[in-house]
Amino acid sequence: MTAPGLDTASAESLLAFWRDAGVDACFGDAPVDRTHVEPPPAVKAVAKATAAITPVVDASSALAEARRLAAGAETLEALGQAIAAFEGCALRGLGARQAVFSRGNPEAEVLIVGEGPGAEEDERGQPFVGKAGKLLDRMLAEAGLEGRVFITNTVFWRPPGNRTPTPAEQAVCAPFVERAFALLKPRAVLLVGAAASKAVLGADEGIMKLRGQWREWRLAEGGVSAPTLPTLHPAFLLRQPMAKRQAWADMLSLAARLDQKAGH
């Protein structure tokens, strides 16, 4: 009997599940495509087109400029303006409408760092405002954290097709993320998803191993540090509702950590 093939949506969901679970290798002399699903021609065309027009950016010069602009920002508002003026991230020239820096309380106790903006975020200019963002907001509210967070991402321009940002794209934006951390001086940091967790913590483990484990994020300069908790991305939870229990446990752990530090 021939097994039925997966439709494109099911295949993408399955592959995304394994990616978020930390699967990054296959066993065998060569990888084998067992889904028998070819990407739609439109997806291939977009990938080819964006690869052909990717701006050439001098990485060292771009990073130096990012550090200069970030260091000159004395407030979070000024930091947002510096990001909007920064031209050193290749994502800026790949169809993004605008820079997407932040939303939330500029005096928050918690800094939340996600992956990168999607289509709705690109349109509205704020992070986590789509379906995944609405789920995140509900979880924060139910955990008693509404109004106590400041939300940003590891990159500030939408990657084409909502793909995961590359380490190089994250690296050139890192000075701005670190400056937000230094200016906010949060009591705790929540890292949302594998891409954010790996970029901020410099970790190699998959998100299923990282999540729920408190670590420390300490800047090399300035002495700023905070307890940091990786958790599952709400977009993953929308695809895999059974994982919501783990993410909810992380949210409760965060709330308890804040209450404990406040002496409640």
Q: How far, in Å, CA of 160 to CA of 178, rounded?
A: 24
Q: Determine the pLDDT at residue 85.
A: 97
Distances in Å between the alpha carbon of 222 and those of 76, 136, 196, 225, 228? 17, 31, 22, 9, 17
Q: Determine the pLDDT at residue 263.
A: 61
Q: How far, in Å, CA of 152 to CA of 70, rounded?
A: 15
Q: Determine the pLDDT at residue 21.
A: 62
pLDDT-derived band at 25 (thresholds 50, 70, 90) equals low
Residue 217 identity (one-letter amino acid): W
Q: Determine the pLDDT at residue 262.
A: 67
Relative orientation angle of helices 131-142 and 244-262, to the nearest 10 degrees: 50
pLDDT greater than 50 at residue 258: yes
Task: For the sheet with 149-153, list strands across it.
Answer: 103-104, 149-153, 110-114, 188-192, 225-231, 215-218
CA dihedral (235, 240, 246, 252) positive or negative: positive
61 compared with 27, residue with greater pLDDT: 61
Q: Determine the pLDDT at residue 233.
A: 98
Q: What is the mean pLDDT of residues 101-128?
A: 98
Q: Determine the pLDDT at residue 35.
A: 41
State the chain's mean pLDDT as an integer: 87
Q: How far, in Å, CA of 34 to CA of 164, rounded?
A: 23
What is the H or E stretch that residue 62 is in? helix 59-72
Report if pTM > 0.85: no
Q: How far, in Å, CA of 154 to CA of 231, rounded?
A: 15
Which residues in the chain belong to E strands, given as ranges?
Answer: 103-104, 110-114, 149-153, 188-192, 215-218, 225-231
Beta bridge partner(s), residue 218: 225
Q: What is the mean pLDDT of residues 125-147?
A: 97
Structure tokens that stand for 160 in this block: 């084409």
Q: How far, in Å, CA of 221 to CA of 229, rounded?
A: 21
Q: How far, in Å, CA of 221 to CA of 246, rounded?
A: 34
Q: How far, in Å, CA of 96 to CA of 156, rounded?
A: 9
User: Are 191 and 230 contacting, i.e. CB atoms less than 8 angstroms apart?
Assistant: yes
The tens digit of pLDDT for each residue in 211-239 reads 999 999 999 888 899 999 999 999 999 99
The tens digit of pLDDT for each residue in 142-158 reads 999 999 999 999 999 99
Question: What percentage of the chain carries pLDDT values higher than 70?
Answer: 78
Q: Which domains does the chain have, with CATH numbers?
A: 56-262 (3.40.470.10)
Beta bridge partner(s), residue 215: 228
Q: What is the mean pLDDT of residues 124-151?
A: 97
Nearest to 251 by CA among 186, 205, 188: 188
Question: What percentage of the chain carries pLDDT values higher than 90?
Answer: 74
The tens digit of pLDDT for each residue in 46-66 reads 545 554 445 556 889 999 999
